[in-house]
Amino acid sequence: ANVEKILIEIEDSRFFEHNGIDLKSIGRSILSLSGKYRKKKGLLKSGGSTITMQLCRTLLIPSNQNIVNRKIVEVLLSFWCEKQFTKREILNFYLTSVRFETRINGIISASKHFFSDIDKKDFSNEEAFFLIERLSNITSSYRLERIKYICERISRTVEINLESLLSIYEEQKMKGTITQYNNV
């Protein structure tokens, strides 16, 4: 349950309030394209896709499509998906199919890849955060600035021990599953 809660907090905090698209998130993502705006508001660049939109993109839309066409199809499919399935079903479809890293799809594969020494379905908040933050990561890298920003943003609703969280990243870095991105 904490994986789902952290997924919603990181990826789509208004998940239970919208019908597939979130106009506020889309607006915020457009504004976040401006470096000046991000600096003024203390934000990082962000996307406007909801969990439902990401699911539709993952399962139903070829990645080689023109971005404008893809977004239009994504929005239409999101409305359809929200009418066909419950929010819980959408979360379940998402967690079992979305890409967590290159060639690693679904929460089960991701947990085995990163935490091969554990065989459980209940993750600590820090482990769940780590897994969700890895979503759609194609470079296998992470930025400490982003980790701290997300952690701070969701800390109002989910208790995350930053020291424990950062030790997971350090552990994974030592294992060679991820690398730290450095702005040089």
- CA dihedral (85, 88, 94, 97) in degrees, to 10, reads -90
Q: What are the residues facing 105 on neighbouring strands?
A: 99
Q: How far is CA 176 from CA 70, 89, 118, 143, in A?
A: 34, 34, 18, 15
For residue 154, which amino acid is it?
A: I
Q: What is the Cα–Cα distance from 97 to 149, expressed in whole angstroms? A: 26
In this predicted structure, the answer to whether residue 44 has a pLDDT above a threshold of 60 is: no
Cβ neighbours of residue 78 closer than 8 Å, sequence gap 6 or more = 20, 21, 50, 52, 53, 56
| C-beta of residue 126 within 8 angstroms of C-beta of residue 3 | no
For 73, the token pair is 């199809």
Structural contact between residues 135 and 114, judged by C-beta atoms closer than 8 angstroms? no
- Residue 100 — φ and ψ, nearest 5°? -100, -25
Q: What is the pLDDT of residues 50-103, one digit of tens each?
A: 999 999 988 998 878 888 888 889 899 999 999 999 999 999 999 999 988 878
Lowest average pLDDT, out of 17-31, 38-52, 61-75, goes to: 38-52
Residue 26 has pLDDT above 80, yes or no: no
pLDDT value of position 130: 95
146 Cα distance to chain centroid: 12
pLDDT, one tens digit per residue, over 105-164 is 999 899 999 998 666 667 899 999 999 999 867 788 898 988 998 999 897 889 999 999
Which residues are bridge partners to 141 per DSSP?
179
How high is the pLDDT of residue 100?
A: 87
What are 101's strand-pairing partners?
104, 137
